[in-house]
Structure 1
């Protein structure tokens, strides 16, 4: 296998915009994302002797950034857990009957989601709806649906149980659906 060389003096010009875009999408906070990209370059520079050349320079930097983002979510874990416990009311129970079936007024409405994803307006409304999620729901939603990380990895990285994970995903989806129906389907 060919070894990929490192050219640290070109990293900022070649990769900073791509890394920043990835970090902003993952963290939804431009200042934190900038800090993460700077840390990524610093860590890569500091550990370049450990680079074995198996990954391309770009992939190696993205791997470091992704690891930093996961560490960031881990550090927020205690705060997120306390918010989860504090907000663990049964806010979605009003959408269901005692039998567990949807209440007719709260049942999902028909809408062509595939066409809406292409719309910049829709993406803006979706972002606003994501902002309404709790920090823990945002973290899980981002890791699962934006980053594409497997649920077992998310549970391990955030140190949450599988059931807790699925409750967070379920509640995030319900909240996003409700927000989109109110703000997009009006």
Structure 2
């Protein structure tokens, strides 16, 4: 794939990628950043692009990772109030009696978070064992939430073939999860 094709990526897929990022990030600026990062990553990885998926599908996969990265950055970057000198005004976070002006959000359930982290790891491992076309269909439908009609256009497959691939992928994922300790009842 030469550099000329990379310019076509933006023209052919930029609006689609922006809409997808905007839906997830709820910000035009963040969506633009995610699309730019996606295109830069695609340009630097274009030698590894084997052409098994359409450019849009490949770019969408990269974009999903960039969206997750952006969400992680947003969670980590907490803006502290600043005083007139630009210094962090930590004292403004507390009342005179030493209590928080606005209490920190609850930490949630660390045990449940650990289970969720383990589930994500096992899901990734199971998905990696799917056949490539099955993994693409599964990821586009179940992860990216793309409609079947659009998946069929992107992968140039029939709706029947798409549903068969989805069915087999779901069965495999269920069996793989169960074999890795996640029972039908959802316990790990």
- TM-score w.r.t. the length of structure 2 is 0.42
Bigger-Rg structure (1/2): 2
Higher relative contact order (CA 8 A, sep 6+): 1
